[in-house]
Structure 1
């Protein structure tokens, strides 16, 4: 678990560098398109900057996603970085309503866990509709056959019976 001690960083020029692996199995249980996830490898740099602690994180995780077209699983590596600002100085009461900085995470603890922030960014990096490949044909809407693996014998011409009277109109 990646823990950053804010009190140790305030007013110092030192950087903290951490490397850890995070278990993100609870994301898999609660997300419909993730079939399996490995451990998320995180590399974190934290430093005091202008009254806040800036955390830069690099995340690499191997995911097994479910294709939204053909419903097969495929591997998708996610490699991304994110930045968060933390402060344990609460804004003044008059600032809370008008000028609060929404880019800063105001926390009351001296030690913060980056696990929820990392999980949030993993979810934000996921494709909305994961596709196993750009040439995925998906499933036949009539019989449900995976069109990437075999062809179906469904009739392609489906006509609304209300339009059948116009079928021979131009002949």
Structure 2
């Protein structure tokens, strides 16, 4: 998915990009994500002036996941706002204050910009850290593995500090 900076600057109308991307390799290492649908990118490139091209739009996808507490399957719709600014040329060496102001501006050496790495970064930042099927999910019993949302298991839930465990035997006598 590329945008031509020169074309976007010279065009009076915004450059529209509507494309579906396979982003399955982005979530490859995540054990809680079973599958991800193709990411639908609806982007619009405009040139406000000074040789800068602003690319804005929305990214949408659907995740098949497992609940991080009870391991039940669930679906999550991800919708993220995308906004990046690009300028053709080398990054100027200027004072630190000007660098802080241009922190969100990406300088590119050529006329074309590959938007895929920026889209993937935005997707990664908007993925859920630990998805749950519902906020009140009780999860699984750490001793017997029973789903605590469906039934109480009857396991002993007393947590005893191992340093003081010997004192428990003292009171049994």
Q: CA-to-partner distance for each residue in 1:70-91, whole Å, 9 max, x for gaps?
A: 2222100011212000112223
Alignment of 1:128-139 (within 5 A): 128-139=129-140
Aligned CA-pair RMSD = 2.3
**Change beyond 3 A, Cα 1:45–1:166:** farther
Structure 2 gap ranges (5+): none
TM-score normalized by structure 1? 0.85
Q: Distance in 1 between matches of 2:22 and 2:55?
A: 20
- 1:145, distance to aligned residue in structure 2 (A): 2.2
TM-score normalized by structure 2? 0.84
State the secondary structure of the residue aligned to 1:30: coil
Q: Distance in 1 between matches of 2:39 and 2:110?
A: 25
**8 Å contact from structure 1 (residues 58, 81) kept in 2:** yes
Structure 1 equivalent of residue 79 of structure 2: 79
**Change beyond 3 A, Cα 1:92–1:115:** closer
- 1:98, distance to aligned residue in structure 2 (A): 5.5
Structure 1 gap ranges (5+): none
**Change beyond 3 A, Cα 1:155–1:96:** same
Structure 2 equivalent of residue 67 of structure 1: 67
Equivalences, count? 166
Structure 2 equivalent of residue 108 of structure 1: 109
Structure 2 equivalent of residue 141 of structure 1: 142
- 1:97, distance to aligned residue in structure 2 (A): 5.6
Structure 1 equivalent of residue 7 of structure 2: 8
Q: Distance in 1 between matches of 2:150 and 2:114?
A: 45
**8 Å contact from structure 1 (residues 64, 73) kept in 2:** yes
**Change beyond 3 A, Cα 1:92–1:114:** closer
